[in-house]
Amino acid sequence: MPPSSTLQLTPAPTEPDREPVLILVIGSAKGIDKIVHALYKCRFAEVKEWSKLLPAFTPGKLMRSLIRYVLVD
């Protein structure tokens, strides 16, 4: 996992029952860009909320990450 300083982190919520969930999109730069913009059109996340392109765990692949906080019971 890349150091946390390279990930785009959203501020931690004030509600203690929320859990951070890391979302990764892995592939080519063009493929990742298409997915991030499609998710924006679905109102899932702003494009600027995603991290910059980072090297992925698979050689030759890139990734972008996003952290969402979900309510857990």
Give the integer Cα–Cα distance in Å for 73 and 15.
Answer: 12
Classify residue 51: in a domain, yes or no.
yes
Classify residue 9: in a domain, yes or no.
no
Classify residue 8: in a domain, yes or no.
no
The number of distinct structural domains making up the chain is 1
Q: What are the residues facing 71 on neighbouring strands?
A: 18
Nearest one of 62, 38, 51 to 9, comparing CA atoms = 51
With a cut of 90, say whether residue 51 has pLDDT above it: yes
Q: Which one is predicted more confidently, 2 or 64?
A: 64
With a cut of 80, say whether residue 9 has pLDDT above it: no
Classify residue 53: in a domain, yes or no.
yes
Whole domain around residue 27: which residue ranges? 18-71
Classify residue 2: in a domain, yes or no.
no
Q: Are 36 and 64 in contact (CB under 8 A)?
A: yes
Distances (CA, A) of 41 to 3, 44, 48, 62: 29, 8, 13, 22
Rg (CA), the chain: 13
Classify residue 13: in a domain, yes or no.
no
Mean pLDDT, rounded, of the chain? 87
Q: Which one is predicted more confidently, 73 or 11?
A: 73
